[in-house]
Amino acid sequence: MNYGNLIRIALRALNNNKFRGFLTMLGIIIGVASVIAMLAIGQGSKRSIREQISEMGSNMIMIHPGQGRFGGVRQSAADMETLKIRDYESIRREVRLIDNCSPSVNASGQVIYGANNSPTTMYGINRDYLDIRKLVVEKGEMFTDHDIATSAKVCVVGTTIVKELFTNGEDPLGKTIRFDKTPFRIIGVLESKGYNSMGQDQDDLILAPYTTVQKRILAITHLQGIYASAVTEEASEPAIEEISAILRQNHNLAADEEDDFNVRSQEELSSMLSSTTELMTVLLACIAGISLLVGGIGIMNIMYVSVTERTREIGLRMSIGAKGRHILFQFLIEAVIISVTGGIIGVLLGIGASMVIKYGIGWPVYIQLYSVVLSFLVCTITGIFFGWYPAQKASNLNPIDAIRYE
């Protein structure tokens, strides 16, 4: 048989029943579009949270002193003095899965310049800290290892500090500010990072050599924390294990003793924060799944009904010489055209709706290829199957019964 003719027959049948074809398509269009849009919203919010977390630093590993006891009295973690420079040095030397490592000591206090003052936090760190926290020195430069070795009184400030202290637009570079009673010379200004997802101002900080903060401000010899970054996201977990092993060894902990430190990775933080969005994504996926199901049932119904109501037509076609497989092929082509066209329109509409949500409402939206492919395939396959199934039955009909069908 000439398949060109059969395709022509199918196209004519579709062309003569545009409204029915459109109704059938509508189910597919809505099914596909809603799934794409909903998954895009879910993915979008998940990604936006992940982005905000990675802004805080890349593959960051945070080491803090843990709770400990002195003679049965539990101590608060902040009071513990278990982390030493020696720990930092051995981590830096021995752990291969990290590429950056910085000691950390913080001091809160008032920063003063001329008549202006502002409460802020001074972070005592080394140069690696910039990479770990994804900070960039915009103007001036970062302090050097020499500054660290000499406990130099130099600092790099965030833009909020500049705004608070240099109200008349003075250039902060080279100026000397006072933190508590200690003078610090500003040698660099950080690029602004804005607020993080928890509403903290990420520009309200002063960076100084950790040795300076230890000796001149806090007068301590221990560290309050150690920050490191793993070489890759996957390396975080093994890196944490290595770090733990080194610290336990350094601290002479017996096998049955608890860790006197805490090592946490950014993944833990992000998984904690994204559990809410995870829930939302699951919820949206459920709704999307249901709309896919409802769409599928709609497609099923209209396909089934449209073939059933065309029983007489099938009978007629058979009586004038159509074979069973001609009927089947015609309906299959119709179903494929309707389903694929509907699927494509649905994909476009879904992407369009996502864009409207993104730019119109301003929600974070991310369209994933798999959601497009999945919804398109599910809907078109449903459409084609439920076009094929009743057509299969119809093509086996006795033409006498079909043509007298009421």
Site residues, other proteins (CB under 8 A): 1-2, 5, 8-9, 12-13, 16-17, 312-313, 315-324, 326, 398-400, 403
CB closer to other proteins, 176 vs 398: 398
Q: Which is nearer to other proteins, 10 or 300 (CB)?
A: 10
Q: Which is nearer to other proteins, 4 or 71 (CB)?
A: 4
Q: What is the closest distance, in whole angstroms, from the C-beta atom of residue 13 to other proteins in the complex?
A: 8
Rg over CA atoms, the chain:
34
141 φ, ψ (degrees, to nearest 5):
-150, 170
* Amino acid (1-letter code) at residue 157: V
Tell which residue, 192, 269, 215, has the closest CA to residue 107: 215
Cβ distance 294 to 30 under 8 Å?
A: no
Q: Rounded to the nearest whole angstrom, what is the least distance from the CB of residue 391 to other proteins in the complex?
A: 16
Q: Which is nearer to other proteins, 11 or 340 (CB)?
A: 11
CB of 406 to other proteins, least distance (A): 10
**Shortest gap between Cβ of 305 and other proteins (angstroms)?**
15
Strands (DSSP E) along 251-290, which ranges?
A: 261-265
- Closest approach, Cβ 9 to other proteins, in A, equals 6
CA 363 from centre of chain: 14
Closest CA to 22 of 291, 286, 271, 337: 337
Nearer to other proteins, 254 or 320 (CB): 320
3-class SS at 205? Answer: coil
Pick the closest to residue 330 from 51, 2, 9 (CA basis). Answer: 9
Closer CB to other proteins, 9 or 367, in the complex? 9
Residue environment code for 37-68, b if the CB has 16+ CB neighbours within 10 A, otherwise e? bbbbbbbbbbbbbeeebeebbbbbbbbbbbbb
For the CB of residue 306, give the shortest distance to other proteins in the complex, in Å: 12
* CA distance to 82, 165, 207, 298, per residue, from 291 (Å): 56, 56, 53, 10
CB closer to other proteins, 296 vs 315: 315
Minimal distance in Å, beta carbon 403 to other proteins? 7
Tokens of 73: 């009295």
CA 179, 109, 190 angle in degrees (round to 5)?
Answer: 65
On the CB side of 209, CA atoms within 13 Å amount to 19
CB atoms < 10 A from the CB of 243, how many? Answer: 25
Minimum Å distance from CB 308 to other proteins? 15
Residue whose CB is less far from other proteins, 181 or 325: 325
